[in-house]
Amino acid sequence: MDVLVPFAATEPKTRLAGVLRPDERADFARVMLRDVCETVAEAGGSPTVLSTAELDCEWPVVVDDRLLTPAVNDRLEPPIAVVMADLALATPAALSTLFEADGEVVIAPGLGGGTNALVVRHPEFRTDYHGISVADHRRIADEIGATVTEIESTRLAVDIDEPEDLVELALHGDGRAATWLENAAVSIETEPTGGRATVTRD
């Protein structure tokens, strides 16, 4: 299956500013992109990076500097998948489950209302990544009478966007991005009062 991998090439991962410097965020984003493209290929997909700017990359790249939604919609020829470039926890098994799931629209929700991965088999479906996209995508599919399947997978639900997501990568990742994080001396700790672990930097 053709798989679009949207990538924000300019100033990526600004929400990680409390942990990583700008040059590190750019490097880390590219390492995650590489992990994701490789995982897509291992799951039987053919990745094309949809980048907001020119990019040196071992996978095919198309450049479109518009917002995510129009850039994706102009290339939405079914059957096609859209997999975000920061799904550094994704495994071939998780993506295979997505690609092979029945449904004219298959959604892998992200934490916080996002749509981290999507398969589109209905010609009228269009994305809307602004706002609570998982709700919008359910509605859009409903409006065109497309059948919807939702995949529940932590590995697809956790995009690496906020500092707390680095905890998940450190604990559950095994790709280049997890190694990058370890080499960057980002580690995790818990509060004596309990609750979820947080990231810290040596």
200 counts as binding a copy of itself under rule CB under 8 A: no
Size of the site for a copy of itself (CB under 8 A): 33
53 lies in the binding site for a copy of itself (CB under 8 A): no
Considering only the stretches 20-28, 35-43, 77-85, 162-170, report the one whose residues sit in contact with a copy of itself under the rule CB under 8 A.
162-170
Is residue 173 a contact point for a copy of itself (CB under 8 A)? no
Chosen residue from 74, 132, 139, 142 binding a copy of itself by CB under 8 A: 132
| Adjacent-strand bridge partners of 201 | 186
Can you say how many angstroms the Cα of residue 16 is from the centroid of all Cα atoms in its chain?
15
CA distance 135 to 92: 26
- As measured in angstroms, the least distance from the Cβ of 156 to a copy of itself is 8
Range in contact with a copy of itself (rule: CB under 8 A) among 32-40, 46-54, 141-149, 160-168:
160-168
In angstroms, rounded to a whole number, what is the distance separating the alpha carbons of residues 6 and 189? Answer: 32
Q: Are 96 and 87 in contact (CB under 8 A)?
A: no
Q: What are phi and psi of 29, to 5 degrees?
A: -60, -40
Residue type at 153 in one-letter notation: S
Q: Which residues have C-beta within 8 Å of that of residue 125, sequence separation ≥ 6?
A: 76, 78, 104, 105, 140, 141, 144, 146
Closest distance between a copy of itself and the C-beta of residue 89, in Å? 9
- Contact between 18 and a copy of itself per CB under 8 A: no
C-alpha separations of 77 from 63, 90, 168 in Å: 17, 24, 33
Q: Which of residues 60-119 bind a copy of itself (CB under 8 A)?
A: 94, 109-114
> Using CB under 8 A, which of 65, 70, 123, 130 touches a copy of itself?
130
Which residues bind to a copy of itself, rule: CB under 8 A?
15, 94, 109-114, 130-132, 134-135, 152-155, 157-158, 161-162, 164, 167-168, 171-172, 188, 190, 194-198
